[in-house]
Structure 1
Amino acid sequence: MTDKKNGISRRNFLKGLGAGSAAMLLPARDVAAAGNSEEELCTLLDLSKCIACGECVSACREANAPKFPEPKKPYPEMYPTSRVKVEDWSDRKDVDDRLTPYNWLYIQSAEVEFEGEVHEINIPRRCLHCRNAPCANLCPWGAAGKQKNGIVRINEDVCLGGAKCRTVCPWHIPQRQTGVGLYLRLMPNLAGNGVMYKCDRCYNRIDQGKLPACIEACPENVQTIGPRSEILKKAHELAEKNNWFIYGEDENGGTNTIYLSPVPFELLNEAVDKGPGKPGLSQVEDSMADEEKLAYAVGIAPFAGIAAGVIKAGRFLASAVGGKDND
């Protein structure tokens, strides 16, 4: 897509941002997240603008539907049966009030009183794409990883559904679908039990120079995307100007999702529904600062890389022999 007024492509514009040739951010719909910046991409969500229309949720579902799981039934029984429970959302694909393997984005709503005024705040929730993501660092199979542009992804071709990523995520974001993935070929009764799913920030759209679907569809221009330093600069300018509050800059060592709110996040955390698939908004310390986790991450890194390679090779070999990929 080309900006007719300036005669430059959106892709080239973001390249310019990464090279430092531009020191400004345009509204989200005017910025192409091409992913070529030397700096990690970050999104700013201005919660004062969100009206909970759900357009972002619908757009996310539509854009990512080809990535959604297609499980096989009946599911293999796990041994021992109490070790890994079946998590099946295949008959509940329309659930949109929490995170599921078929719903990677949902809207939390909260009504809070602050400084004598009642505020209705709507919060788009998805993976925050941590800068030092524990899911990527601690997955024993190397299924989760972080790209240079800051996107944290789970490779469904490698994931065995062990849910280590969900356990170590401070917000417990990833969700499992049983009956899909490599575990069905390796150890269907003893290991895994599915594949973990979460927002991958429309990495394929970004690779094509397009915006993530949720940003493109938003009628209120809630989100802005760009290099993290520029996003933080914009967030602090707005926060200082309006006496607002920031979330995501330091949580879990810093994320590439920055929330801006007219009310403190402590109040929002108290007001939102929390539970499975419904993350909170509490203050989160850097989980990877823990020495034991750091040591574990360093220790499993070589093994995880080898394991991922072996698993992928095995998958391709099985596909070649079988003549068809049945995952």
Structure 2
Amino acid sequence: MGKISRRSFIKGSLAAAGALSVSAAPLPASAKGIGPGELATMLDIGKCIGCGACVEACRDSNAHKFPEPDKPFPKMYPPRVKTADWSDKRDIDDRLTPYNWLFIQYADVEIDGEQTTITVPRRCMHCTNPPCADLCPFGAARKLKNGITRIHPDICLGGAKCKLVCPWDIPERQTGVGPYLQVLPNFAGNGVMFKCDRCYDLIEQGELPACIEACPEDVQTIGPRDEIIAAAYARAKEINGYVYGDKENGGTNTIYVSPVPFDVLNEALEKGPGMPHMAPVPDSMANADTLAKAMILAPIAGLAAGFIKFTGGAKPSSQSNKEES
């Protein structure tokens, strides 16, 4: 399949239901003028040079969404939930934080007998059936029809269930922001969870996500998910490579193509807090009991939104990212 290049991602529009409509060239006839459906991105990491342009572009483009916490933080009772404050560490760019939604991982591997450093842009995987969205008790995390999973900061109470159920531990908390400050700040909540939102606001305007626009090596390709999956396997066949993300956790909208096996790559990656793995991931939402639990929790979202509105329309403190669901 042809890719959506930086210059050929033509202005599109969102349908009333929130589905993205884009025109792009060159694409097969089946993809031209696409209607409702999920967009995915393919990251050909063999092309990545680790320049960090994507990281810088992400930070610049999303700076208006970053948290501005009120201090001192409310004292929590009981104090079992620890505060998470990244506001004085905003320059950290070698892991995921509330102020850094994309970073570069490094892996020293052997390719054709030569030691090579592979660089891997990492962010939210945007699962096709995201447990963070299905299991958030307040509906703060939601999946859009175009395949983007967002956390709404005007609803999130920072409970971190999204991080607990995420197979890659992606979301990160910032204390001192969000509606919990107006809703029992000493007893409930502890901030807001943050992660990549795939520049949903740019995509709504028919523009590319900032990381793709800034990349000098065309590492990422964006398009309809079925086309991206086909392109990923075609590229893997071309380079005798491997694909990650099409099956992990039941499927994601972030598809990696690597010149080395992902078990080898995962072994070589530095991992830890804010540094996701690349190991195989079973479908966490395949269990019927889990799905039933998600369905039971879903109505709470409406109650939470109503309660927040009743208490005065609480907004994220000092934030300018007011948005529609």
1:256-277 CA-partner distances (Å, limit 9, x unpaired):
0000000011011111111111
* 1:182–1:315 CA contact under 8 A, matched in 2: no
Q: Deviations along 1:51-95, whole A, 9 cap, x unmatched?
A: 0000000000000000000001101111111x2101000000000
- Cα 1:240/1:325, change in 2 over 3 Å: closer
For 1:110, the equivalent position in structure 2 comes to 107
Cα distance, 1:9 vs. partner?
A: 4.3
Q: Does residue 39 of structure 1 match 2:46?
A: no
Q: Which moved more, 1:298-307 or 1:87-96?
A: 298-307
Q: Contact conserved, 1:23 with 1:230, CA < 8 A, in 2?
A: no
Residue 305 of structure 1, CA deviation: 3.0
Pair 1:159 & 2:156 matched: yes
Q: Which residue of 2 aligns with 1:11?
A: 12
Contact 2:68 2:317 in 1 (8 A): no
Residue number in structure 1 paired with 2:303: 306
Classify the secondary structure of the residue corresponding to 1:229: helix
CA–CA distance in structure 2, aligned partners of residues 112 and 195 of structure 1: 37
Q: Are residues 1:258 and 2:255 paired?
A: yes
Closer/same/farther in 2, CA of residues 303 and 10 from structure 1, 3 Å limit: closer
1:231 shift after superposition: 0.5
Q: Say if 1:37 and 1:149, in contact at 8 Å, map to a contact too.
A: no
Aligned counterpart, 2:16: none
- Equivalenced residue count is 307
Q: Relative to structure 1, is the Cα distance of residues 200 and 315 closer, same or farther in structure 2, using a 3 angstrom cutoff?
A: farther
Aligned: 1:73 with 2:49? no
After TM superposition, give the deviation of residue 22 of structure 1 in Å: 2.9
Pairing 1:166-181 to 2, within 5 Å after superposition? 166-181=163-178
CA drift of 1:310 comes to 2.9
Mapped partners of 1:143, 1:207: distance in 2: 20
* Structure 1 residue 14, shift from structure 2 partner: 5.7
Of all paired residues, the percent bearing the same amino acid is 59
Q: Shift of the alpha carbon at 1:16?
A: 4.5
Bigger CA drift: 296-305 or 264-273? 296-305
2:281 alignment partner, one of 280, 284, 288: 284
CA contact (8 A) 1:135 1:166 kept: yes
Root mean square deviation of aligned Cα: 2.6
Following the alignment from structure 2 to structure 1, what is the Cα–Cα distance between the partners of residues 22 and 207?
13
1:69-148 counterparts in 2 under 5 A?
69-81=67-79, 83-114=80-111, 116-148=113-145
Where structure 1 has 5 or more consecutive residues not aligned to the other structure, the ranges are 26-33
Relative to structure 1, is the Cα distance of residues 179 and 325 closer, same or farther in structure 2, using a 3 angstrom cutoff?
closer
Could you tell me which amino acid in structure 1 is paired with residue 274 of structure 2?
Answer: G
Task: Specify the code of the residue in structure 2 equivalent to 1:245.
Answer: Y
Q: 2:245 is matched with which residue?
A: 248
Greater shift, 39-48 or 288-297, is seen at 288-297
1:168, 1:199 → 2: CA distance?
A: 16
C-alpha displacement of 1:115: 5.3
Moved more, 305-314 or 92-101: 305-314
- Counterpart Cα distance in 2 of 1:187 and 1:124: 38
Q: Cα 1:274–1:259, aligned 2, differ >3 Å: closer, same or farther?
A: same
Distance 2:302 2:247 in 1: 29
After superposition, the Cα gap between the structure-2 partners of 1:279 and 1:53, relative to the gap in structure 1 and judged at 3 Å, is same
| Residue pair 1:130, 1:254 contacting (<8 A) in 2 also | yes
| Structure 2 match to 1:150 | 147
**Equivalence for 2:322:** none
CA distance in 2, matches of 1:198, 1:303: 22
| TM-score, L = length of structure 1 | 0.87
2:43–2:255 Cα contact (<8 Å) kept: yes
Aligned to 1:214: 211
- Residues 16 and 22, structure 1, Cα contact 8 Å, conserved in 2: no
Residue 63 of structure 2 is aligned to residue 62 of structure 1: no
Query: When you count helix as a share of all residues, which structure comes out higher?
Result: 1
The offset of 1:119, in angstroms, is: 2.8
Residue 10 (structure 1) shift: 4.2
Tell me the equivalent position of 1:49: 47
The letter of the residue matching 2:193 is M
Q: Structure 2 CA distance, aligned partners of 1:237 and 1:67?
A: 37
Structure 2: stretches of 5+ with no match in the other structure: 14-19, 320-325
How far off its partner does 1:239 sit? 1.0
Q: Contact between 2:41 and 2:220, CA under 8 Å: does it hold in 1?
A: yes
AA matched with 2:110: E
Deviation of 1:307 after TM superposition, in Å, equals 2.0
Contact 1:59-1:213 at 8 Å conserved across structures: yes
Q: Secondary structure at the match of 1:186?
A: coil
State whether residues 10 and 206 of structure 2, in contact with CA within 8 Å, keep that contact through their aligned partners in structure 1: no
Distance in 1, matches of 2:295 and 2:145, equals 19
| Rounded Cα–Cα distance in structure 1 between residues aligned with 2:304 and 2:209 | 31
